[in-house]
Amino acid sequence: MSLKGNALIGQSGGPTIVINASLVGAVQEAQKTDSIDRFFGGIHGLDGVLNEKFIDLFREDDNVIDALKTTPSAALGSSRLKPKEADLERVLQVFKAHNIRYFFYIGGNDSQLTCHKISELAAGSDWEMRVMGIPKTIDNDLPITDTCPGFGSAARYAAAAVQYASKDAEAFGNGEVIEIMGRHAGWMTGAAQVGRLDDYMAPHLVYLPEVAVDIDDIANDAKAAFKKHGYVVVAVSEGLELTKSAEDEAKLDEFGHARLGGVAKALAGMLEEKVGVRFRHDTLGNLQRCFAASVSETDFNQAYAVGQQAVKLAVEGETGYMITIDRESDEPYAWHLGMTELMNVADKTKYVPRDWVNEAGNGVTEEFIRYAKPLIQGREVALPTGIPAFPRLQKHFIEPKLPEYVRTK
């Protein structure tokens, strides 16, 4: 069913290495249709929508748009704003003022919830429009979709970083604790084990937030690994869950407060005392979601495709859906695009299945490896050599049409 008007796209949540590939896929697909007159980009996600901070993406240089495909982080700027009822009413006013008939939102769990709310609001109003969610998150924790754009490249970086750090630990005969992003779901940390191609290689121990472990069990595992290999590398999620024992209750309380951003440091200190060898610690930090040199070809292709497909389906008449990636086979790896209603993914979390973690809770199974391997081991995407110089949008801003919005706290 034909619907003519303007389109708006925003980026939300934590940026990724390939989030701009989804943006470019959407823009380049929109350029092919007569249904979309102008394509606006919301600066800083929903904040930009509420404050009418839009740029005209069709006025940008085509070469710059194309070069953004391999530029990390969010070219439009991101946001973590969760809309209130008054915000949603303002959103609809903005859509009407700028004749926005298509809205696309690139993001994870919370972003898809926002997208769902906007879709429901539009459906119950007199304003005809199409709303589509475009998946993105390095956490890989959106349900329904087999994987999330952003995960493969970030996991590739984490797996490689563990291998690099392990050579230093092996050289000195030390212990090493490496903290990897993942507050509630351990997909990223588990994927680090894909790089362990032989028994002596790191990571020797892998701990995910889905399975609570005791500090004494971690120490015993580390002692055994050190005795066997002469060094030990532990990969741990930032959201590690520990069980408490009477012996370590005070330390575990302190450890709990340090969690989500200090788990590696705290755990390294405990293990150094309990194992009796020096333990270093590293936190991979924001490089996990912006180190473009580790981009996975599979991840890149999927990110571009979901952006492209969202626009294509919206123009064809679909609304209220998020694009999904559906796996056909592991070896050879094959996939196709699907879609699911936004209500199926909004504010929901996909955890690593318990049977994909070994019985001891200190590593992932072969089933996990079969799942993750094709997502991170694809051919590298060609990038400019030397120190990167990334393109920037010229940002031709649109004139606001509504009174200034004052958001209630």
In the numeric block, which tokens belong to residue 58?
């069709």
Our answer to whether residue 199 is catalytic in this structure is: no
CA distance 111 to 53: 18
Cβ(72)–Cβ(15) under 8 Å?
Answer: yes
Strands 36-42 and 5-11: parallel
Q: Provide the 3-class DSSP secondary structure of residue 359.
A: coil
- Which of 139, 221, 248, 282 is catalytic? The answer is 139
3-state secondary structure 369-407: HHHHHHHHCCCECCCCCCCCCCCCCCCCECCCCCCCCCC
Q: What is residue 20's DSSP assignment?
A: H
Q: What is residue 287's DSSP assignment?
A: G
For residue 377, the number of C-alpha atoms closer than 13 Å in the C-beta half-sphere is 17
In angstroms, how far is CA 209 from the centroid of its own chain?
17
AA identity, residue 384: P
| Helices and strands (DSSP H and E) totals, the chain | 12, 13
Strands 321-329 and 334-341: antiparallel
In terms of Cα–Cα distance, which of 24, 121, 9, 115 is closest to 67? Answer: 24
Strands 54-56 and 36-42: antiparallel
CA distance 299 to 288: 14
Tell me phi and psi for residue 222, to 5 degrees: -65, -40
Query: Which whole-number Å values give the CA distances from 19 to 113, 133, 153, in the listed order?
Result: 18, 13, 11
Helix (H) or strand (E) holding 48, with range, is helix 45-50
- Active-site amino acid positions: 139
